[in-house]
Amino acid sequence: MNFFCTKKEYDTWVAKMQLNEFDIFCLNVEEALRVSEMLFSVTDI
């Protein structure tokens, strides 16, 4: 995960890395933590 303080920093990074913005999920901190918990939870073992 990458975190950016501003939209301008995000836009600069996307342009520099030549990424397609449609392939990126732009989440706030709360959403990112919730998603990471779902992805990396070990309760399924």
Structure confidence at residue 8 (pLDDT):
93
Q: Global pTM?
A: 0.59
Q: Compute CA 31 distance to the chain's CA centroid, rounded to the nearest angstrom.
A: 9
Structure confidence at residue 45 (pLDDT):
60
- Segment-wise mean pLDDT, segments of 10 residues, the chain, 45 residues: 86 93 88 90 71
Q: Please choose, from the candidates 8, 3, 11, 6, the residue with its C-alpha nearest in 3D space to the C-alpha of residue 29.
A: 3
Structural contact between residues 3 and 10, judged by C-beta atoms closer than 8 angstroms: no
Structure confidence at residue 26 (pLDDT):
85
The residues, any chain, with a CB within 8 Å of residue 32's CB and separated by 6 or more, are 1, 3
